[in-house]
Amino acid sequence: MVHAADREQAIFLLEKALSETKISGIETNLRYLSGIVKWQPYLNGGVAMRDMADFSYQPNTIDVISAGTMTTVQDWPGRVGYWEVGVPPSGPFDSLSLRRANDLVGNDEGVAGLEITMTGPTLRFNIATRIAVVGAAVLILKNGGPVCMNECIDVEPGDLLKIGRIESSGARAYLAIAGGIESPLYLGSCATFTLGKFGGPFGRALLPGDVLGIDHHNVSSASKKGEDQSLCLTHDWKIGVLYGPHGAPDFFWMKI
> Who contacts 88 (Cβ-Cβ below 8 Å, separation ≥6)?
79, 82, 193
pTM of the predicted structure, to 2 decimals: 0.83
User: Residue 170 to residues 117, 151, 167, 173, 238: CA-CA distances in angstroms?
Assistant: 9, 19, 9, 8, 15
Residue among 179, 164, 167, 64 at smallest CA distance from 116: 164
Edge-first strand order for the sheet with 160-166 is 145-147, 138-142, 160-166, 122-125, 61-66, 211-213
The stretch 201-228 carries a mean pLDDT of 77
223 contacts 106 by C-beta, under 8 angstroms: yes
Of the two residues 4 and 232, the one the predictor is more confident about is 4
Place 233 in a pLDDT band, splitting at 50, 70 and 90. Answer: low
On whether the CB atoms of residues 136 and 172 are closer than 8 A, the answer is yes
The pLDDT score that the predictor gives to residue 44 is 86
User: Using only C-alpha atoms, what is the Rg of the chain?
Assistant: 22
pLDDT over 90 (residue 197): yes
Mean pLDDT of the region 84-94: 93
The torsion defined by the Cα of 37, 43, 45 and 47, in degrees rounded to 10, comes to -50
Furthest C-alpha separation in the chain: 89
Contact in structure between 154 and 222 (CB atoms under 8 Å): no
- The half-sphere exposure of 30 on its side-chain side, counting CA atoms within 13 A, is 15
| pLDDT of res. 218 | 60
pLDDT for 225: 53
The candidate with the shortest Cα–Cα distance to 102, out of 93, 91, 111, is: 111
Q: Which amino acid is at 49?
A: M
pLDDT in tens, 25-84: 888 999 999 999 999 888 888 888 888 888 888 899 999 999 999 999 999 999 999 999
More confident position, 227 or 5: 5
Contact in structure between 97 and 173 (CB atoms under 8 Å): yes
Whether residue 201 is preceded by a cis peptide bond, meaning omega within 30 degrees of 0, is no
